[in-house]
């Protein structure tokens, strides 16, 4: 990718156009990565893409042949995915689903709805009773996680808005017994995000398997499938030390055998780990200045385009593409900032550089997930970045 991107940047630098910023997506790399993820999974596992990570249509088109389906977390995402006509199953999750949201999901005939509360279950049961439509559902559960190390972002195992408390499971199953239009497929778990440890994630999956088998015995039910969520993280600080998916899948295969889960579908809904690696955000240096002994590089764009560094509160990995101008900064450190009227518009602090000049490009890697789509794009009414797809 580096050679292709360097060629693109060199061509852009010689184009004579005004200062520039862009997202660049390497679609072949995305396809290859998804293929490898799918290939390593055990036979009874499925890979869904969580569209919330990046719903760009070209990325979705690239992923469609290599994933088993797509996960939506809002009515807007459901409609967006439905418009693409991929012919792949859609599953619908997320808290706070309204009656209109659920009606839309029924109208679109989604493969499965992840029910997050008793209220939501009652809403859906009433809708299905009124329409006579059948709907497959999973119950999302917020289980205890004693003895399992937390990740950077914990979504379960404590008081959160997500899923049913286990004490409500009996009530939920009783409601399902009274609702013949609702077909219980199994449980949905998504307790942690930003997981970088294979060992810890295997412990989490073990907990999911154990509690599933326990509840099957306790309530005399059988799960056709369980959804183990996503939550696989991307290491933004040590980019060469990423989550080892192949090692994880080998361990998962052993867990499936140990817990006799071979006849149940194990479903993953991964987002960040699927699409982050294919994306780059590029800013052209439009000003260099010193302030109280520190250098600042002001780039075309900023966190209103690329919110990931602010959202994660980190120095985002970046490299400098030199464009041939004489260096202004030599063997120093520089703060990379954007064009916003706030001191919080920082993408990297104290970046060591050998040389940096006006017109150089700052290339942020790992920008394919939770980046443009989570940014405050209208703030100060700056123009949007260009989007370039490498085929």
Question: Tens of pLDDT along 49-88?
Answer: 999 999 999 999 999 999 999 999 999 999 999 999 899 9
What class is the 89-270 domain? alpha beta
Confidence of residue 325 (pLDDT cuts 50, 70, 90): confident
pTM over 0.75: yes
pLDDT given at position 144: 78
**Residues 137 and 172: beta-carbon distance below 8 Å:** no
pLDDT by residue (tens digit) across 23-41? 999 999 999 999 999 999 9
* CATH architecture for segment(s) 2-24+277-390: Beta Barrel (2.40)
42 closest CA partner among 262, 211, 223: 262
pLDDT given at position 65: 98
179 closest CA partner among 139, 141, 148: 139
Please tell me which residue in 112, 249, 270, 341 is annotated as part of the active site: 341
20, 23, 24 from 385: Cα distances, Å: 8, 7, 10
Half-sphere exposure of 190 (CA within 13 A, CB side): 28
Q: Is the dihedral of CA 105, 111, 117, 120 positive or negative?
A: positive
Domain ranges of the chain: 2-24+277-390, 89-270
pLDDT given at position 146: 74
pLDDT at residue 106 greater than cutoff 70: yes
pLDDT by residue (tens digit) across 224-252? 999 999 999 999 999 999 999 999 999 99
pLDDT at residue 174 greater than cutoff 60: yes
- DSSP assignment of 154-206 equals E-SSSS-SSSB-GGGHHHHHHHHHT-TTEEEEEEE---EESB--HHHHHHHHH
What's the start-to-end Cα distance of the chain, in Å?
11
**Residues 124 and 115: beta-carbon distance below 8 Å:** yes
Same CATH fold assignment for domains 2-24+277-390 and 89-270:
no
DSSP state of 38: H
Q: Residue 123: which residues within 8 A CB-CB, separation 6 or more?
A: 97, 99, 102
Q: In the predicted model, what is the mean pLDDT of the chain?
A: 94
**Kind of pairing between the strands at 69-72 and 386-390:** unpaired
Q: Residue 75: which residues within 8 A CB-CB, separation 6 or more?
A: 100, 101, 104, 105
341 is catalytic: yes
Q: CA-CA distance, 312 to 77, in Å (whole number)?
A: 23
Confidence of residue 148 (pLDDT cuts 50, 70, 90): low
**Kind of pairing between the strands at 225-227 and 182-188:** parallel
**Residues 348 and 315: beta-carbon distance below 8 Å:** yes
**Kind of pairing between the strands at 361-364 and 279-291:** antiparallel
pLDDT at residue 158 greater than cutoff 60: no
């Amino acid at each position: 990718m580096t050679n292709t991107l360097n060629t693109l940047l060199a061509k852009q630098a010689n184009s004579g156009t005004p200062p520039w910023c862009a997202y660049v997506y390497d679609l072949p790399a995305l396809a290859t990565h998804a293929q490898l993820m799918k290939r390593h999974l055990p036979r009874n596992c499925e890979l869904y893409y969580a569209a919330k990570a990046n719903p760009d249509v070209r990325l979705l088109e690239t992923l469609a042949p290599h994933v088993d389906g797509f996960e939506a977390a809002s009515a807007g995402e459901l409609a967006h995915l439905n418009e693409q006509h991929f012919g792949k199953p859609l599953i619908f999750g997320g808290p706070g689903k309204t009656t209109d949201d659920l009606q839309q999901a029924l109208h679109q005939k989604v493969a499965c709805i992840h029910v997050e509360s008793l209220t939501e279950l009652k809403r859906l049961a009433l809708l299905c009773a009124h329409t006579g439509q059948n709907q497959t559902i999973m119950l999302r559960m917020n289980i205890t996680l004693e003895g399992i190390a937390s990740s950077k972002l914990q979504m379960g195992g404590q008081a959160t808005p997500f899923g049913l408390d286990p004490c409500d499971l009996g009530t939920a199953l009783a409601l399902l017994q009274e609702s013949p239009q609702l077909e219980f497929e199994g449980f949905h778990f998504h307790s942690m995000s930003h997981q970088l440890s294979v060992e810890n994630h295997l412990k989490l999956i073990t907990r999911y398997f154990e509690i599933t088998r326990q509840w099957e015995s306790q309530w005399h039910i059988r799960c056709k499938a369980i959804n183990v969520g996503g939550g696989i993280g991307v290491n933004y600080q040590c980019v060469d030390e990423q989550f080892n998916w192949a090692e994880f899948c080998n361990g998962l295969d052993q867990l499936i055998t140990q817990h006799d889960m071979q006849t149940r579908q194990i479903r993953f809904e991964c987002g960040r780990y699927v699409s982050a690696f294919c994306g780059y955000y590029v800013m052209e240096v439009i000003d260099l200045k010193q302030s109280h002994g520190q250098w600042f590089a002001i780039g075309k764009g900023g966190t209103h385009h690329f919110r990931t560094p602010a959202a994660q509160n980190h120095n985002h990995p970046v490299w400098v593409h030199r464009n041939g101008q004489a260096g202004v900064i030599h063997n120093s450190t520089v703060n990379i900032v954007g064009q916003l009227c706030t001191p919080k518009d920082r993408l990297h602090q104290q970046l060591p550089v050998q040389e940096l000049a006006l017109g150089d490009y700052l290339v942020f890697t790992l920008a394919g997930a939770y980046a443009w789509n989570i940014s405050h794009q209208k703030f100060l009414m700056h123009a949007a970045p260009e989007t370039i797809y490498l085929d």
